[in-house]
Structure 1
Amino acid sequence: MKKYPVPDPGVPDNRSAARYLLWLCRRQWQSVASGAWWGALWMVSISLMPAVLGQAIGSGIANKDADELLRWTMLALLLTVFIIVAGLCRHRSAMANVYAAEYRTVQVVTRHVVKLGATLPRIVASGEVATIGSADIMSISGGFQNLSVTVGAVGAICVVGVILFSVSVPLGLTVFVGTAVLMAMTAYLTKILHRRQSAYRSTQSQLTAMAVDITAGLRVLRGIGGEWSFSRRYRCKSQSLRRAGEQVARVQSWFDSMQVLAPKVFATVVTWLAATFVIKDELSVGDMITFYGYAAFLTLPLSVLGQAANAMTGAYVSAGRVAGFLRLEPEFPAVPAGPPLAATAATAQLTDGWSNLSVPRTGLLGVVCADAEDATGLAERLARFTDSGSPAIGGVPLAKLPLPWLRKHVVLVRNEDTLFGGPLIRELTPPGRQADRATLDKAIYVSAAVDIVNGLDDGLETVIENGAKNLSTGQQQRLRLARALAAEPATLILVEPTSAVDALTEARIAERLVENRRGRSTVVFTSSALVLDHADRVCMVKDGLVTAVGTHRELLAECPAYWAVVNRGGE
């Protein structure tokens, strides 16, 4: 069995749902071909059994020939063994198709999430990504699971048709006409089901996004008394989803009923016709048994085709959603590798043209904003989390620098950044690096997070929940700072990094941060006097522009706007 995930999933064809599914088929063509081969052998072998049993009855029992009976019985036994072996191989290949489609889709979606980066929450609801990562991926893998039996069912119907034509042309025509009618009914219901499933999935993702938003902002909603309003909206959207689900279920019930009833009716008609031919001496008893066996057998491939059509409809809808997500582009255009500042990366000066803010090459710069939104916007511009403004580094616009290079040298830490679940040591270790305990221990000390690590059962090996929900806000804040410090970037940008810790811890962090970041550039957006007092220089930003520059004490004495913001923050 091949190991998954594969090292390189490849570049997906996201132009349409059909092209994405075909791309998956090409990428895993070996397991698809193997599944089709064994599926055909398995189903065709089953389709031969009624003919063998019919010959055993007609040539052996009806003619009282023991040798013929033994010969056909042994052939039936060998065919049974082959059916079992082929079935096992078919199932193995089908599961290989499932895992290959699942993992490859997870890989390309995850890779695209990383590519979108900070653009993702601006253009895609969180519920949309959650739906793709669960329901849609399962639907795509379900479609690939049915590929092998689909090929087998088509092959079996063809074999049965040939056998029946060789025995009786009218009955052979009956089989093919009946099959065509059933397939037409399936196609009609599949089209309706496809349309209604698409509407259902769209409503489902909207409801999931709404649930995620309500959960994330429940504390705020309760604070402003808005939980009942959002509750009513959720109930309305939930009822819309229920109605969409009923529409799907209504078509699905007809679809499932047809899969059960239509093949049975078809088998009954074929058996009745065969019986009338026997009465007219146009068929032998053995041929009658063969036709009866095939009438019963045909319910299997026809049901398989119905189930496969249902599964492929779901896979097509889900593939369309995945392809649509993969077509989303980040706000930041790709830039060829090979940054022009490689030789001076550690000492290049970061500037913002809109606000006239210049970040010194070394030292701690404090930035105080009269409007908190200015702090967030300015910090995101400096780190190129948005493509607005005219920030530059070493005189080169950030828009002309490759994002991987920029993310390595300029790191932004915000309080809304996520701590992912898993071992804490893995979460604090910079991506693409081996865990360096000395560096991690130093970062944990500077961020005053030693007590957090010591308080965990397994220290750094402790598995934390996704979002670190088992830790307090202040603990999460310190661990986010430790994670950034461990990366040792040339420029570190912090937005209110100590807003959730006590004054004593805040003073320790400020003092240690200055020593730890000596020789590198650090920008702290804050209104905390404890932090600002340790800054080498402080800038006052009002109405989006730098209006005053100096030390903390100088600005307290000379800038009333600065005094007002700092004292407000200290209250």
Structure 2
Amino acid sequence: MRTYPYPIKTSPDTRSPARYLLWLGSLQLPSLIGGIVCGSIWLLAQATMPLVLGQTIDRGILGKDWGALLAGAAVMLVLGLVQAIFAVLRHRIAVSNWLQAAYRSVQVIGHKITRTGDALPSAISTGELINTAASDAVRIGQIYDLTARLSGAVLSYLLVSVLIWNISWQLGLIVLIGVPVCCALLLFIIRPLQARQREQREMAGKMTAVGADTVAGLRVLRGIGGEHIFVARYRSRSQETRFSGNKVARSVATLDGTQLVVTGAFAVLFTWLGANLAVSGEISVGELVSLYGFSVFLVTPVRILAEMVSAVIRAFVGARKVVAVLSTDPAYADQGSTPPPSGAAPLRDTASGAVIQPGRLTAVVSSDPAASTKLAERLGRFDDAELAEHPVYWAETDLRRIPVASIRERIVFSEADPQLFSGSLRELLDPRGRASDESVLAALEDAGALDVLDGLDEGLDHQVTERGRGFSGGQRQRLALCRALLSNAETLLLAEPTSAVDAHTEARIAARLRAARSGRTTLVTTASPLLLGVMDEVLFLVDGRLAARGTHRELLSVPEYRTVVIRGE
């Protein structure tokens, strides 16, 4: 049993969709070559059968030569066996080529998503990303499935042309000219199909984006009775996508119908001309049968070529989307080589003027909660563009000069809307598997989440559903806080960690936070008096700049601060 995807040893070529497809094919050259060889033998054996049949009729039946008849039957049997064996091999290799290309595309997209940060979702919607990984990658893989059949179709077409030329040069000339003309006629339908498929792909992406937004905010929408608005939007997008899909279906149906008409008319003309040659005595009965078999076979190369062109169109549309994802510049570049401070050191944000002292509990309060969260994100280095004009210093070192891995190891950021992943609750809370069950239980108590565990029959072995949808908003927030506490990070940045919990639970969390983070640096963005009351220092921002600092009690004398805190309460 082989596992997919295979390792990727070179970086994707994102200069154009064509270069990306060539790069993808270069990673599976052995299997592509194997598919081409098997596909060529498969169709060449099929193309040779009408010739053998015709010669067997002339020599064995009309010539009454039983030896020639038996020999012809044996050759037909061998050709049938060769065709069957290599058809199976070609199909197996073709599916392998398809899966390799599709899974490699999914793999590079996944790597890009994990390494790009906030730059990717801000440039490309969630729905587009889902469609690119789930749909476009599969469409890209189809062209590598068809390479084996296409190569065999071209070789068998050339072989049949030579064989027909040996029977009648006039019919051979018709084949050499007529088949390319039939293929060219199909281009008049393929061009509109390409445009309609691109339009349908864009519509599907927009529909998926609306669906993802609706699902993500479903709980809030139901709370305010606004789900019908988003449902109406999704219904509208869905109808637009359906109508666009109908246009694509009409083009595909027209292409298939035209293909049958064109190839059928060519086969009828070819057979009629061959019959006239047989009546006039220019060719034998066996040669006429061979020509009829060749005319039937020539439908196959035309059909394969039309299928390949359609697949290439879809693949280019998909590759263009993949290249757009892979070409998105990351929010930060991991090019730093300066080591971080050897011990605990202050973090200084030049944009706001805030300084986070090591080993202390520090809160950030702002009339605009987004400004507080932005400060925490800058301290965690998630967007180098923001740090270009106003850098953040760790001790005396610019944060951008320090390797990202070193920053992530010692500075942990827990966002306001945390993500929970599927798996056991133990794995969710302690992804690295470093903590004992006793430590996990202690962290759950510090995060005020023991009641969440009490409601689960399997305890820490409970299987968490996707994005933790089996938990309420407050439960998810407390589990995320527990996960952050279990990281034992030297510096922990918590963005609104208790915004979704009730006052009693928040009081328990506030009472235990100091002991849980004793001796380590902790920054909390909040406007809750319960949390502010246990902080060593509170930083108050006005318009994103530090306006005052002190304890919560000291800052209550500042009218603007008191207004924000009372509103938070």
State the TM-score, normalizing by the size of structure 2: 0.93
**Is this contact kept in 2: 1:143–1:314, CA < 8 A?**
no
Partner of 1:280: 280
Shift of the 485–217 alpha-carbon distance from structure 1 to 2, 3 Å rule, reads same
Q: Distance in 2 between matches of 1:437 and 1:52?
A: 76
Q: How does 1:340-355 map to 2 (within 5 A)?
A: 340-341=339-340, 343-344=341-342, 346-355=343-352
Aligned residue for 1:404? 405
Counterpart residue type for residue 199 of structure 2:
A
CA contact (8 A) 1:58 1:284 kept: yes
Query: How has the CA–CA distance of structure 1 residues 453 and 10 changed in structure 2, closer, same or farther, with 3 Å as cutoff?
Result: farther
Shift in Å, 1:97: 0.3
Give the CA deviation at 1:134.
Answer: 1.4
Q: Is the 8 A contact 1:18 1:316 kept in 2?
A: yes
Q: What amino acid is the match of 2:422?
A: G
Q: Equivalent of 1:362, from 359, 362, 369? A: 359
Please list the CA deviations of residues 432-456 of structure 1 after superposition, one character each: whole Å capped at 9, or x if unmatched: x345435544433322333323433
SS across alignment from 1:209: helix
Question: Could you tell me how far 1:221 is from its partner in structure 2?
Answer: 5.5
Give me the whole-angstrom Cα distance separating, in 2, the residues matched to 1:357 and 1:196: 54
CA contact (8 A) 1:9 1:107 kept: no
- Between the aligned partners of 1:518 and 1:198, the Cα distance in structure 2 is 57
Contact 1:425 1:435 (C-alpha < 8 Å) held by counterparts? no
* Alpha-carbon separation, structure 2, partners of 1:369 and 1:561: 9
Give the Cα separation in 2 of the matches to 1:219 and 1:443.
Answer: 27
* AA matched with 2:559: P
Correspondence for 1:478: 478
- Shift in Å at residue 259 of structure 1? 2.5
After alignment, is 299-308 or 85-94 more displaced? 299-308
Kept in 2, the 8 Å contact 1:493–1:524? The answer is yes
Question: Which residue does the alignment assign to 1:445?
Answer: 445
> Is 440-449 or 511-520 further displaced after alignment?
440-449
Give the structure 1 partner of residue 66 of structure 2: 66
Q: CA deviation at 1:486?
A: 2.5
Cα distance in 1, alignment partners of residues 31 and 442 from structure 2 = 50
Tell me how far 1:278 sits from its aligned partner: 0.7
Q: CA deviation at 1:499?
A: 1.9
Deviation at 1:459, TM superposition (A): 2.9
> 1:99–1:141: 8 Å Cα contact kept in structure 2?
yes
Amino acid at match of 1:517: R
SS at match of 2:206: helix
Partner secondary structure for residue 420 of structure 2? coil
* 2-structure distance, mates of 1:241, 1:555: 56
Q: Kindly indicate whether the alpha-carbon contact (under 8 Å) linking 2:417 and 2:477 is maintained by their aligned counterparts in 1.
A: no
- Secondary structure at the counterpart of residue 375 of structure 2: helix
- Unaligned stretches of 5+ residues in structure 2: none
> Quick check: 1-10 or 157-166, which moved more?
1-10
1:491: Cα distance to partner? 1.1
Describe the shift of the 1:113–1:160 C-alpha distance in structure 2 as closer, same or farther (beyond 3 A).
same
Alpha-carbon distance in structure 1 between the residues aligned to 2:75 and 2:435: 67
- Give the drift of 1:234: 4.6
Matched, 1:378 2:393: no
Aligned pairs (5 A) from 1:288-299: 288-299=288-299
Conserved? CA contact 1:351–1:358, under 8 Å:
yes
Q: Determine the C-alpha separation between the residues in 2 that align with 1:14 and 1:459.
A: 47
Once structures 1 and 2 are overlaid, which stretch shifts more, 1-10 or 311-320? Answer: 1-10
Give the 5 Å matches for 1:78-97.
78-97=78-97
* Letter of the structure 2 residue corresponding to residue 347 of structure 1: A
Is the 8 Å Cα contact of residues 336 and 400 (structure 2) preserved in structure 1? Answer: no
Displacement, 1:470?
1.1
CA deviation after TM superposition for structure 1 residue 219, in Å: 5.4
> Per-residue deviation at 1:28?
0.8
Alpha carbons 2:128, 2:208 under 8 Å: kept: yes
CA contact (8 A) 1:363 1:514 kept: no
The alpha-carbon deviation at position 385 of structure 1 amounts to 2.8
CA distance in 2, matches of 1:163, 1:425: 70
Matched residue, 1:564: 563
1:74 aligned partner, one-letter code: A
1:112 maps to 112
**Structure-1 separation of matches of 2:265 and 2:547:** 85
Q: State the Cα distance separating 1:247 from its structure 2 match.
A: 3.2
Q: How far 1:379 moved relative to its partner?
A: 2.0
Q: Which residue of 1 aligns with 2:261?
A: 261
- Is the deviation greater in 371-380 or in 447-456? 447-456
Which string of whole-angstrom CA distances, capped at 9 and with x for unpartnered residues, describes residues 375-418 of structure 1?
A: 22222222223332332211222233333332222222123232
TM-score between both structures, scaled by the size of structure 1: 0.93
Structure-2 residue corresponding to 1:212: 212
For structure 1, the 5+ residue unaligned runs are: none
Match runs of 1:452-463 below 5 Å: 452-463=452-463
Pair 150,458 (structure 1): closer, same or farther in 2 beyond 3 Å: farther
> 1:476 corresponds to which letter in structure 2?
R
Superposition deviation, residue 150 in structure 1 = 1.1
Does the Cα contact within 8 Å between 2:541 and 2:547 map onto a contact in 1? yes
1:540 and 1:138 map into 2 onto residues whose CA distance is: 51
Aligned to 2:138: 138
Answer whether contact 1:420 1:467 (CA < 8 A) is retained: yes
Q: Which residue of 1 aligns with 2:553?
A: 553
How many residues align? The count is 564
Query: Superposition pairs for residues 268-347 of structure 1, below 5 Å?
Result: 268-332=268-332, 334-341=333-340, 343-344=341-342, 346-347=343-344
Supply the distance in 2 between the matched residues of 1:194 and 1:154 (Cα, whole angstroms): 23
Give the structure 2 partner of residue 429 of structure 1. 430
Distance 1:284 1:116, change over 3 A: same
Contact conserved, 1:196 with 1:244, CA < 8 A, in 2? yes
Instruction: Report the Cα offset of residue 229 of structure 1.
Output: 5.7
Distance apart, 1:147 and its partner CA: 1.4
Q: How does 1:37-56 map to 2 (within 5 A)?
A: 37-56=37-56
Letter in 1 for 2:14: N
Partners in 2 of 1:443 and 1:499 — Cα distance?
A: 19
Q: Where does residue 391 of structure 1 map in the other structure?
A: 392
Partners of 1:79 and 1:158 in 2: how far apart?
Answer: 19
Give the deviation of 1:19 after TM superposition: 0.6
Deviates more, 1:218-227 or 1:42-51: 218-227
Aligned position for 1:32: 32
Q: CA offset at residue 373 of structure 1? A: 2.4
SS of the residue aligned with 2:467?
coil
| Equivalent pair of 1:271/1:291 in contact (CA under 8 Å) | yes
**Cα distance in 2, alignment partners of residues 456 and 372 from structure 1:** 34
Structure 2: distance between partners of 1:42 and 1:221: 58
CA displacement, residues 417-442 of structure 1 (integer Å, 9 cap, x when unaligned): 32122333333334xx3454355444
Q: What is the letter of the counterpart of residue 460 of structure 2?
A: L
User: How far does residue 370 in structure 1 lie from its aligned partner after superposition?
Assistant: 2.4
CA distance in 2, matches of 1:9, 1:458: 42
Q: Which range moves more in the overlay, 192-201 or 239-248?
A: 239-248
Question: Using the alignment, how far apart are the partners of 1:337 and 1:66 within structure 2?
Answer: 83
The answer as to whether partners of 1:21 and 1:319 remain within 8 angstroms in 2 is: yes
Instruction: Write the letter of the residue equivalent to 2:567.
Output: R
Deviation at 1:496, TM superposition (A): 1.5
Q: CA RMSD of the aligned region, Å?
A: 2.2
Percent identity (aligned): 38
Distance 1:2 1:166, change over 3 A: farther
Residues 337 and 401 of structure 2 are in contact (CA less than 8 Å); yes or no, is this contact kept in structure 1?
A: no
Q: 2:231, 2:391 → 1: CA distance?
A: 42
Taking the aligned partners of 1:88 and 1:229, their CA distance within structure 2 comes to: 52
Determine helix, strand or coil for the equivalent of 1:366.
Answer: strand
Q: What is the alpha-carbon distance in structure 2 between the residues aligned to residue 413 and residue 170 of structure 1?
A: 78
Q: How far did residue 232 of structure 1 move?
A: 5.5
CA deviation profile, 1:448-497 (whole Å, cap 9, x unmatched): 33332343343333322222111111110011112222222221111111
